[in-house]
């Protein structure tokens, strides 16, 4: 039962993804700042970790990210001073989050939990899409609340259910 209380090695992403998806459900839309923030921080993580084959330090990551954001926010293809300022401000926030606890100077060394938010959203979204297609959304939601496990992994979910069944048999 400790497993369900403290979590498995694989539960961090789905736990965080679940939280973001529930925020979206409460808001009634997937157009949510939490998803946007998770996506942008996932991009920062990719840049820092070297998705292009070259890990980046904090400054290099920031320089790339603010430019990506500036292109994203460009108005009719133009990057105004206001767009640049907004992009730099957002990139600073994401970079600060990515490189917290580091000295910013070591390429590829980031706060590793940064990337699990977006990965978890994607895993949970696929899990619930399949549950809806299989007409088992209620069961899927119950399974997601069993404990700190990766409910998107059938083996881990079944293992947790067996633990619960054994514990219930002992109690009965």
pLDDT, position 1: 59
pTM of the prediction?
Answer: 0.80
List, for residues 7-22, the tens digit of each pLDDT value: 777 778 888 888 888 8
- ∠ CA(98), CA(102), CA(104), 5° rounding? 75
**Residue 67 pLDDT level (bands cut at 50, 70, 90):** very high
* 98-156: pLDDT as tens digits: 999 888 899 999 988 888 889 999 999 999 999 999 999 999 998 988 888 888 989 98
What are the domain boundaries of the chain?
Answer: 2-171
Q: Find the helix or strand (DSSP H, E) in which 114 lies.
A: none
């Amino acid at each position: 039962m400790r497993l369900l209380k403290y979590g498995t090695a694989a539960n961090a992403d789905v736990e965080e993804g679940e939280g973001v998806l529930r925020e979206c459900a409460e808001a009634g839309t997937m157009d949510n700042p939490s998803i946007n923030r998770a996506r942008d921080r996932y991009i920062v993580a990719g840049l820092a970790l070297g998705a292009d084959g070259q890990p980046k330090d904090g400054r290099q990551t920031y320089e790339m990210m603010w430019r990506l954001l500036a292109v994203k926010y460009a108005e009719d293809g133009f990057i105004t001073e206001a767009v640049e300022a907004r992009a730099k401000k957002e990139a600073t926030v994401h970079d600060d989050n990515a490189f917290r606890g580091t000295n910013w100077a070591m390429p590829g060394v980031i706060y590793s939990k940064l990337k699990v938010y977006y990965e978890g959203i994607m895993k949970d979204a696929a899990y619930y899409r399949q549950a809806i297609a299989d007409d088992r959304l209620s069961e899927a939601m119950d399974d997601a609340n069993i404990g700190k496990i990766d409910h998107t992994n059938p083996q881990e979910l079944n293992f947790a259910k067996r633990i619960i069944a054994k514990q219930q048999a002992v109690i009965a």
